[in-house]
Chains A and B, each alone.
Chain A
Amino acid sequence: MGYVMDRAGFAEVIAALLKDYRIFAPVRKKGAGRFTDVDAVIYDEIRDAGEIELELKSDYAPKEFLTPLSETLLYFTEDEVKESDFDERPVLLFGRSCDLHSLRRLDQIYLNNGPARDPFYERRRKAVRCVLIGCGHSYDNCFCVSMGSNRCDDGYVFSVDLIDDRIHSNVLDGSFIKFFSEVPGAEEKDVLPRFVTENDVKVEIPEEVPREIVRSGLWDEYTSRCINCGRCNFVCPTCTCYTMQDVFYSDNGRAGERRRVGASCMVDGYTDVAGGGQYRRKNGERMRFKVLHKISDFKKRFGYQMCVGCGRCDDICPEYISFSNIINKVNAASREVQA
């Protein structure tokens, strides 16, 4: 069932939903960018439909709800431990097609990677229903078509497309129809969310990346070009690495908390081991690890590609390093090796 309505109508839908759901969506934050008077689009809990950014691709990914950059998991005192509280209300999480595809990757790692399921992830994940933001056009650096993440036919409760100042929604989940059908002025219509079918950026990934690529010279330039800032990982909807902080409150050294914070395979410290060892010291080596994880190693284990082609890593890299370009370099080098 589809509906078309003006912004005021959509605002009513959101207002009604907010009675039952917490809503997390991309929000354009004024002046929050790196540079003066530059905005950033970041996920946040919204209280009003007007806050939802439907036009720009978000700089940071929806994973920030499921795997917060910093989350206190538990508190401890001498011999007691208490899990942190969690707001159990259901959540609507807005995302584009690539973002919805990214959730399968997060689930894979946090829920279906060996016998244990991560309870802190699971309590968040269970609460989430997705809302699809349609893509009227491809954005800079997107290569979702190459990665097969440009379409979603299910996995969302309703979709939202802003076309000529009107909201077009395809309501997939029947239980959500009531939020739309009663909005004054909402027309019932056949609606299909918009998907892109072509990107300017295209990648080709070899079916199997030959082992020789590990020793290829193609990684070397990144040792000097990359500043190991980790932005490419922090914005990536499919990166799942974290590290733990056990913190003892300074005025009472016997109580404290355990936090989980995001980690990046590009940032110093990631491969530090006892005794001062570090497996990947050079940024070129870190780049090799990251790229091969995204386009080869994950697939070897789980049978599908990790990267969804959202292009956020390219969007944000301060050193103009293009991940999609590296994929294509790996592809060319692989052919050379195999020839």
Chain B
Amino acid sequence: MANLDVNVGKLKKNAFRYSKVRGETASRIRIPGGVIDASSMSRVVEIAEKYGTGVINITNRQGIEIPGISLADMDKVNEEIQKIIDSLRINQTEKGKGYPSSGTRNVIACPGARLCPFGCYDTTAFAQKMENSIYPNDRHVKIAFTGCSNDCAKVRLADFGIIGMTEPQYDKDRCVACGACVNYCRRRSVGALELVNGKIVRDAAKCIGCGVCVVYCPTRAWTRSKEHYFRLVLLGRTGKKNPRLAEDFIKWADEESILKMVKNTYAYIEEYIDPDAVEHKEHIGYIVDRTGFEEFKKWLFDGVELGPKAEVNQRPYWGGRHYDRYGG
């Protein structure tokens, strides 16, 4: 292929990969919430066979990459993926032109309450709602949803990690003191329950809202709260300078506030991103390292009214190795 003249920035923004194989690219399919309908999946297969090399990459962030596509075929591939984009209800600016941006990464989710017995909410639905509220956007933001404190989605590596919680409700008149909840809370969770005078006492400060007691109670003495609650953890990251786990920010947060805080983050990034950042891309965490958390918090909370149960950790402190300061 001679004369290849491709705008690499545009290619990346259009959700194609810059490949080490000259003249080739990979098409990146967004799958918010990790659920794709079977006919879209068949279409992926068709595209991989027609334009790619007949293989499909499953990415770390629950997306799909179809590698081995010739740069010359990008327009055709964009037309072919339109049905997938429609079917997954991805916000788009122009039909037939593929994805409008790739900076804000695929929003991921563990199977959650659709499948998993421990899931405290419909992770996929919340992930799709989040996607809908923030995409398309060029800013590099990673958001991940997990159904419970097991954190199978590894949300502590994301900028925003949303962990499902339930506030267990105790009906003492249905409790027969079998001890199952005490036993399983201790063995599978944090040990927040105790049998006192034939009834259960829950240490509310220790309880992480995992719902294990509810799953194991044989009599429905423990049930889930009507409200679905969340633990919001912030600014985890991998990478070269200072990889670290996300830290707890709000316990017992609600859905609406979380949607709003994530949305607010984009305004904060626009204000404070390093204008000289390589490829205009800077992890939020590094921006916050510069402005201080107080400033970030101010922006986050703009117009947010937390519920009465919410407990805010006003000064999270992040750890991790600082290779940029002390080397490795």
Expressed in whole angstroms, the minimum distance between the Cβ of A290 and any Cβ of chain B is 14
Q: For B223, give the chain A residue with the smallest CB separation.
A: A32
Cβ–Cβ contact B113 & A36, under 8 A: yes
Residue among B175, B196, B215 making CB contact with A34, cutoff 8 Å = B215
Give the number of residue pairs across the A-B interface with Cβ within 8 Å. Answer: 79
Chain A 19-39 near chain B by CB (<8 Å), digits 1 or 0: 000000000011111111100
The contact string, 1 if C-beta is below 8 Å from chain A, for chain B 199-229, is: 0000000000001001111111101101010
Chain B residues, CB < 8 A from A229: 178, 180, 216, 218
Specify which of B119, B220, B228 is in contact with A42 (CB 8 Å cutoff).
B220
A36 touches B121 (CB 8 A): yes
Residue of B nearest to A260 (CB): B176
> Which residue of B173, B179, B221, B228 has the most chain A CB atoms within 10 A of its CB atom?
B173
Evaluate contact between A69 and B173: CB separation under 8 angstroms: yes
Are B174 and A247 closer than 8 Å at their CB atoms? no
Evaluate contact between B173 and A68: CB separation under 8 angstroms.
yes
A234 to B113, CA, bound (A): 26
Determine the chain A residues whose CB is within 8 A of the CB of B211 once the complex forms. 36
Q: Check if A250 is an interface residue, CB within 8 A of chain B.
A: yes
Is B197 on the interface with A (CB-CB < 8 A)?
A: yes
Chain A: minimal CB distance from B84 (Å): 29
Label chain B's interface by main secondary structure. loop
Q: Is A261 among interface residues, defined by CB-CB distance under 8 A?
A: yes
Contacts of B121 in A (CB 8 A): 36
B102 within 8 A of partner (CB): no
Residues of A close to B228: CB separation below 8 A: 36
Q: Mark B164-183, 1 if CB is under 8 A from A, else 0.
A: 00100000111111111000
Whether, in the assembled complex, A263 has its beta carbon less than 8 Å from a beta carbon of chain B, the answer is yes
In the assembled complex, how far is the CB of residue A60 from the closest CB belonging to chain B, in whole angstroms? 7
CA distance A230 to B220 in the complex (A): 12
Q: Which of B120, B224, B226 has the most CB of A within 10 A?
A: B224
How many positions in chain B have a CB within 8 Å of any CB in the partner chain?
Answer: 32
Complex-state Cα separation, A108 to B174, whole angstroms: 24
List the B side residues contacting A69 at CB < 8 Å.
173-176, 219, 221
Q: What's the nearest-Cβ distance from chain B to residue A232, in Å?
A: 9
Contact status A35-B220, CB under 8 Å: no
**Which residues in window 5-30 of A have CB below 8 A to B?**
29-30
Interface string of A224-237 (1 = CB under 8 A from B): 00000111001000
Q: Assess whether A35 is in contact with B215, with CB atoms less than 8 Å apart.
A: yes
Q: Which of B174, B218, B223 contacts A231 (CB 8 A)?
A: B218
By the criterion CB–CB under 8 Å, are A259 and B198 in contact?
yes
A245 and B224 form a contact (CB under 8 A): no
Q: Nearest Cβ in chain A — how far from B169, in angstroms?
A: 9
Chain B contacts of A35 at CB under 8 A?
Answer: 113, 117, 119, 215
Residues of chain A whose beta carbon lies under 8 Å from any beta carbon of chain B: 29-37, 40, 42, 60, 68-70, 229-231, 234, 245, 247-250, 259, 261-264, 267-269
Residues of B participating in the A interface, judged by any CB pair closer than 8 Å: 113, 117, 119-122, 166, 172-180, 196-198, 211, 214-221, 223-224, 226, 228
- Cβ-closest 10 pairs across A and B: A36-B113, A245-B198, A231-B218, A261-B176, A262-B176, A247-B197, A32-B223, A229-B218, A69-B174, A230-B218
Can you offer 30 A-B residue contacts whose CB atoms are under 8 A? A30-B226, A31-B223, A31-B224, A34-B214, A35-B113, A35-B117, A36-B113, A36-B121, A36-B166, A36-B211, A42-B220, A69-B175, A69-B176, A69-B221, A70-B172, A229-B178, A229-B180, A229-B216, A234-B176, A245-B198, A247-B197, A250-B197, A259-B198, A262-B176, A262-B219, A263-B176, A264-B176, A264-B178, A264-B218, A268-B179
